[in-house]
Amino acid sequence: MIVEVCANSLESAVNAQKAGADRIELCTELAGGGTTPSFGLLKLIKEYVSIPVNVLIRPRSGDFTYSNLEFEIMKKDIALCKELGFNGIVSGVLYKDFTLDVERTKELIKLSRPMQFTFHRAFDWVSGPMATLQQLEGLEVDTILSSGQQNSSVAGIDLLSKLQKKSKRTVIMPGGGILDANVLEFKKKGFGAIHLTGIKFHKTLDQIPVVPMSTPSFLRDDEIAISHMATLKEVVRLVKEK
């Protein structure tokens, strides 16, 4: 069984390697479901980590339906990861009705080769998981990361098992809520890979700052935050007018 660690920093990735993990999925901002890591982090990972690293290509949190500009960013990031010599890409695109955007996902896969391609937990939103599995197998996706369309892989283990039995070539990789206390359930079911963060929070400050920098209200699945042109225009007008 492959143990893949979702690492949100250089330190997390180094710890995963030292712990004996087989592979890393590299991302940042786990609170929002993960986003694409910075260029600096990508460069340093290549210096400090020797085990295979797959990079999350997700330009923002929220949904998995991207604008043309966002999609261009994703393609540029994949090209960078290929240039830097990473093992794989973790990504995927959906339509607003929670069906697979076959053409855009196909384009990302084509750009990723010869790197491996994992379709990420956008799979947990698809309306027809079995049909989507067949579509992704047709696109020659190497791995599907999923919690079985539940809040945790333990709760979704029945669907994960059905997907595994149905799959002909794609590895079904449970991820979400996997711990040392429950990982043997997945080993017994014969899964070829598991995905976990192994996160533990470390206190960095002796007291909580008076002014918060985190904005929990920005974490939304059905809305994204974009600078509003009319608001900005009005501010500029007010400031600039004589």
Q: How far apart are CA 34 and CA 132, in angstroms?
A: 22
Q: Is the pTM of this model over 0.85?
A: yes
Q: How far apart are CA 188 and CA 15, in angstroms?
A: 26
Instruction: Report yes or no: 95 and 101 within 8 Å, Cβ to Cβ.
Output: yes
**pLDDT at position 149 over 90:** yes
Contacts of 159 (CB under 8 A, 6+ apart): 129, 146, 148, 149, 150
**pLDDT at position 64 over 90:** yes
- The arrangement of strands across the sheet holding 53-56 comes to 171-174, 143-146, 116-119, 88-91, 53-56, 23-26, 2-7, 193-196
For residue range 25-56, list pLDDT tens digits in order. 999 999 999 999 999 999 999 999 999 999 99
Instruction: Report yes or no: 78 and 58 within 8 Å, Cβ to Cβ.
Output: no
Instruction: Report yes or no: 100 and 126 within 8 Å, Cβ to Cβ.
Output: yes
- At 24, is the secondary structure helix, strand, or coil? strand
Q: At which residue do the structure tokens 């010599």 appear?
A: 85
pLDDT bucket at 15, cuts 50 / 70 / 90:
very high
